[in-house]
Amino acid sequence: MQKTTLDIQAIRKDFPILSRTVNGQPLVYLDNAATSQTPKQVLDAIVDYYSGYNANIHRGVHTLSQEATDKYEQARIKIQHHFNAKLAHEIIFTAGTTHSINLVANGFSSLLKKGDEIIVSALEHHSNIVPWQMLCERTGAVLKVIPMNLNGELELEAYYKLLSSNTKLVFCNHVSNALGTVNPIKEIINAAHNVGAAVLIDGAQAAPHIKADVQALDVDFYVVSAHKMCGPTGAGMLYGKEEWLNKLPPYQGGGEMIAEVSFDKTTYAGLPHKFEAGTPNICGGIAFGAALDYMNAIGFDAIASYEHELLEYATAELLAIDGLKIYGTAANKTAVISFNVGSIHPYDIGSILDKLGVAVRTGHHCAQPIMDFYGIPGTVRASFSFYNTKEEVDILVAGVKRAVAMLQ
Amino acid sequence: MTIKEIQEEIVDEFSMFDDWMQRYEYMIDLGKSLPLIDEQYKTDDNIIKGCQSRVWVHADLEQDVLSFTADSDAIITKGIIAILIRVFSGQHPKDIIEADTNFIDEIGLKEHLSPTRANGLVSMIKQIKMYAIAYQTQIK
């Protein structure tokens, strides 16, 4: 029996896509860690924008421009409140997590020197590895890695030993996309601050499940994508402490980010506009705000507790399958299950599940170092959202059993 | 049989099935009957780029016809390569180079593969044709 107080069937009606079929079967969407689906409240915000007040912001004297500017800035304040940032201008609109990380990495190019050290966790997505490698190549800084154990948890003792006065930056995800591990970011942040290093936390996988409080965390940078939390693609945010954002140079040049321009000298605009060159994804920012409204109306505590129910149920049901092994068994994890069955290739299971209407991710999940650690080519990953049901878990489990029977 | 005839035979076989689960089952069976590549040829050089699962293909020329052996770590991928090998093994390089591969669209294979697998299929065909071009130059 379901313990949740949420009316899941009513919630599902908010998501038009959930009523479609795939290959003649009802869609069972379990690829939420890649992107979440969009409720009609967010779709309405997108349609309202383009049909009601589409205009460029911060420039026009006309009414539409004013309305669009107001809504966009209101969205920034919604995001500020959601993540409990002290100041609205500490929220920078970006195209998403990857863009946010690159903005910070680029900014640090001018602040690092040869011999400085930056630390990254073994659990990172490629987007939180490659920009830092590129930064190291540009500056001569050295990249060090926090190791993980077989459960998919970071080894904090090893991390503490990596820290020194040379450490300038630490990067870690809040939740691992490949394994679902919730990392002890408060401990990671505190220890980094003790040696004077700045910390960037990649919140892309955490934001749909956990409401992060950037002031309580005392984190220097926190980055998310809207499309993982019921919002549109191509929109996201960079939270940065005001003092850090003031230290970083602008990322891209263009309109909106300037105060005065002459051919002799250009002075830059203040925060947040310094980092928002050009016409932004106005609609995306507004829809991001609508997505936060939607999720907060349901409530993050209720979401987390229901998703945990789904995780426990799905874990028990999947483990009953002969030869099935789950990768990522951290004590604290979100509703993500990465698994393989015997020596069957994850692509084979994923292909057959697709024919049964079940959408999962297969492969290395942009986290090849984790797959190398386990010595596997990849996994099948089922990732759950608050709109999934136990009946869908049953369809997944029956599908995996059918696939295994065909493939063995 | 000519390449064209074999392709028609495969199109007929696929048309007998009612749904894609049955076709997948058939491809899995084909995958199990794939002429396996000798371990010594399972090198990085023989890995087909553009496939998400690992696929190795090796070609031998004997009496002016090519024979192919292959392997993959994914079974459905083995089924796909088995279909291609059935079409192209035992054929003259010139015929392989000139062959069209419309039969893949006729059996609906490409549209029923994930985009990454469909790209892999294109890469496999390209690799087989590359072997044919390379060996063609050895035939007088």
CATH number, position B130: 3.90.1010.10
pLDDT of residue A6: 93
Beta carbons of A385 and A32 less than 8 angstroms apart: yes
How is residue A359 written in tokens? 């959408």
- The residues that bridge with B71 in the sheet, in sequence order, are B56
Q: Which residues of B touch A356 (CB under 8 A)?
A: 21
Give how many domains chain B has, as a whole number: 1
Q: How far is CA B134 from CA B50, B56, B81, B139, in A?
A: 20, 17, 20, 10
Residue from B51, B96, B99, B104 carrying the catalytic annotation: B51
pLDDT of residue B48: 80
Beta carbons of A223 and A100 less than 8 angstroms apart: yes
Q: Which residues of A touch B75 (CB under 8 A)?
A: 344-345, 348, 407
Torsion angles phi and psi, residue B93, rounded to 5: -50, -40
Contact assignment for B52 to A347 by CB distance below 8 Å? yes
DSSP collapsed to 3 states, B89-139: CCECHHHHHHCCCCHHHHCCCHHHCCHHHHHHHHHHHHHHHHHHHHHHCCC
Give the pLDDT mean for A110-134.
90
Higher pLDDT, A98 or A365: A98
pLDDT of residue A253: 77
pLDDT of residue A36: 98
Confirm or reject contact between A64 and chain B (CB < 8 A).
no
Give the pLDDT mean for B134-139.
88
A86-95, A261-270, A272-281, A363-372: segment of lowest average pLDDT = A261-270
Higher pLDDT, A228 or B105: A228
Confirm or reject contact between B105 and chain A (CB < 8 A).
no
- The mean predicted confidence, pLDDT, of chain A is 94
Confirm or reject contact between B118 and chain A (CB < 8 A).
no
Q: Where are the domains of chain A?
A: 8-30+300-407, 43-296
Question: Which residue of A22, A344, A345 to mutate against B (max B Cβ within 10 Å)?
Answer: A345
Q: Which residues of B touch A406 (CB under 8 A)?
A: 24-25, 28
Range of the domain at B125: 3-136
Give the pLDDT mean for B66-73.
92
Contact assignment for A351 to B20 by CB distance below 8 Å? no
The pLDDT tens digits for A51-104 are 999 999 987 789 999 999 999 999 999 999 999 999 999 999 999 999 999 999
Confirm or reject contact between B77 and chain A (CB < 8 A).
yes
How is residue A187 written in tokens? 């401990």
The pLDDT tens digits for B31-57 are 988 888 999 988 888 888 766 678 899
Contacts of A301 (CB under 8 A, 6+ apart): none
Chain B, nearest residue to A354 by Cα: B114
Beta carbons of A213 and A262 less than 8 angstroms apart: no
Burial level of B82, CB count in 10 A (0-12/13-18/19+)? Answer: buried
Question: Which residue of B75, B113, B114 to mutate against A (max A Cβ within 10 Å)?
Answer: B75
Confidence of residue A255 (pLDDT cuts 50, 70, 90): confident
DSSP state of A249: P
Contact assignment for B52 to A363 by CB distance below 8 Å? yes
Give the whole-number percent of chain A exceeding pLDDT 70.
99
Burial level of A65, CB count in 10 A (0-12/13-18/19+)? Answer: middle
pLDDT of residue A269: 80
Closest-CA distance of chain A to residue B104, Å: 18
Scored b (16 or more CB within 10 A) or e, A230-254 reads bbbeebbbbbbbeebbeebebbeee
Closest-CA distance of chain A to residue B73, Å: 7
Give the whole-number percent of chain B exceeding pLDDT 90.
47
Chain B, nearest residue to A350 by Cα: B114
pLDDT of residue B50: 62
Closest-CA distance of chain B to residue A407, Å: 7
ipTM value, please give it. Answer: 0.84
pLDDT of residue B52: 66
Higher pLDDT, A260 or A301: A301
CATH architecture entry for A43-296: 3-Layer(aba) Sandwich (3.40)
Place of tokens 């705000």: A289
Q: Which residues of A touch B77 (CB under 8 A)?
A: 345, 347-348
Beta carbons of A301 and A386 less than 8 angstroms apart: no
Query: Between A and B, how many CB-CB pairs are < 8 A?
Result: 42
Q: Is the pLDDT of residue A1 over 70?
A: no
Is 3.90.1150.10 the CATH number for A8-30+300-407?
A: yes
Closest-CA distance of chain B to residue A60, Å: 43
pLDDT of residue B103: 87
